[in-house]
Amino acid sequence: MKPPISDIAFTESVKAVQQRMGSRKHYERMETDGGWENTISKDLADFIGDRDSCYLATANVKGQPYIQHRGGPKGFLKVLDERTLAFADFAGNRQYISIGNLFENNQAFLFLMDYTSQTRVKIWGTAEVVDHDLRLMKQLTDPSYKGKPERAIRFHVEAFDINCRQHIQPRFTQEEVEALVQPLRDRLAELESENKALKSHSAARLR
């Protein structure tokens, strides 16, 4: 019998802890009912396309973990096909820890968060560093974005989980706040214009 996709995270050690803490039966039912997925659905693709940042986790050959923020214009993380993602790796502080880790250990993890809708997506897989692929870089970059792309990171999806909303505190981007506030500004301008007209009308009647 083929092991469930979630076994990528639910190792025997993890399952033992779940058993001890009383959650193992719940996850056994999840595995029986289909469990996690490994192909990118349209809903997930739409979610990914709306992100302007994510976190990339890697580990070196000794198992030392490292997590790095990656960002760009909205939609910088591209869906290449139902099992593949990619993004342009922009110039940064030149430590190259993630890149070095991937050269010796291609296991990787992506963490995507939408604070507004309190949604987080965890994606397991492998990643590869892609240098000097002009066609791919053109697909991944926006000429209007100021970041300098140095290479591409191609991510091969092995499993993903859309996690619970618990404890995610809502936050809003400047763009989202502006969209919420603009109707109030418009209404204020309308009221100020009406007030000015009423004052002008009253002053004319008093003359």
Q: Where are the beta strands (DSSP E) in 77-138?
A: 78-81, 84-90, 107-114, 119-130
- Which pLDDT does position 98 carry in this prediction? 97
pLDDT at 134 over 80: yes
Residue 151 pLDDT level (bands cut at 50, 70, 90)? very high
CA 46 from centre of chain: 11
pLDDT at 96 over 80: yes
**φ, ψ of residue 77 in degrees (nearest 5):** -85, 110
- Using a pLDDT cut of 90, give the percent of the chain over it: 74
- Which pLDDT does position 196 carry in this prediction? 87
- Which pLDDT does position 50 carry in this prediction? 94
pTM for the whole thing? 0.84
Output the 3-class SS for 146-174.
CCCEEEEEEEEEEEEEEECCCCCCCCCCH
- Which pLDDT does position 80 carry in this prediction? 97
Range scoring the smallest mean pLDDT among 135-139, 177-181, 199-203 = 199-203
